Amino acid sequence: MQWTSGPHRLRKLLPLLAIASIFLFSVQIGAQPGRSAVIRVTALDEADRPVPGALVEVKLKGSVVATTVTNEKGEAEFTKLALGTYEVAISRESFEPLNQVDVALTAGAPIEVKFTMIPKVQLKDVVVNVQAGTETGIE
């Protein structure tokens, strides 16, 4: 094949460019699903009511990589997370902090993580009065 200049050269290159473009485009589309994944979090109380305003953290190897707060429906979503194994932690004032370990993200459907938030037990102050010379029975 002899290379010439002008329109003849362009006509010879067009089929080759078209094939190369199709190949590159299909490789790029095929790679998209494997690059990232989604975690959806739902926080409900023991009566199955949403818990809004809970802090949700996604951790990778102990380091926080993403944070957000649950909405009025008790939901939070993390998108564009790299594939891997994560820990999801949730906390809110007046509730016990919770976490889910070994949340494995792979290409495909989003991962759903549901937390049932447990109220913190509030102990009331107890005052014990002991007078000198009184036997307590405690040794």
**pLDDT at 113 (0 to 100):** 98
CA angle 118, 124, 127 (to 5 degrees): 155
Which pLDDT value is given to residue 137? 64
CATH of domain 35-117: 2.60.40.10
47 CB neighbour count, 10 Å cutoff: 6
Q: Which pLDDT score, from 0 to 100, does residue 132 have?
A: 72
Q: Would you write out the chain's pLDDT as a tens digit for each of its 139 residues?
A: 555 555 565 566 556 545 555 544 433 333 344 578 999 999 999 999 999 999 999 999 999 999 999 999 999 999 999 999 999 999 999 999 999 999 999 988 899 999 999 999 877 776 777 677 666 666 6
User: Taking a C-beta distance cutoff of 8 angstroms, is the pair 82, 91 a contact?
Assistant: no
Domain locations along the chain: 35-117
* pLDDT value of position 63: 96
